[in-house]
Amino acid sequence: VYGFGMIMWEWLTGRRPFWNRDHDVDLIIDVCDGLRPPIVTDTPEGYVKLMQECWHSNPKRRPTADDIKSRVLSITNSEHISQTV
């Protein structure tokens, strides 16, 4: 689930998470200490909330795969509706 949140971030930004850092032990420690990529300002709120929940430091507080599926479908459906109105 954490990885899905990172894939969402990469899809939204077009960049690899932590692209500006060496992928080494220091990065691992920083991520374990709560480091997350910055949220892009024009990211839809539903995606921001879902990414942040996927990145939660406590894995038990992260959404399930079924939750993610439902929420992504809901977000994309509401975006489609707002674009057609």
DSSP 22: -
Could you state, in order of their start, the residue ranges of all structural domains in the chain?
2-84
44 pLDDT exceeds 90? no
DSSP 64: P
13 pLDDT exceeds 90? yes
Q: Which fold would CATH assign to domain 2-84?
A: Transferase(Phosphotransferase); domain 1 (1.10.510)
pTM (2 d.p.): 0.81
Residues 6+ apart with CB under 8 A from 22: none
Query: What CA–CA distance (Å, rounded) separates 50 from 52?
Result: 5
Query: What is the average per-residue pLDDT within 73-84?
Result: 71
11 pLDDT exceeds 80? yes
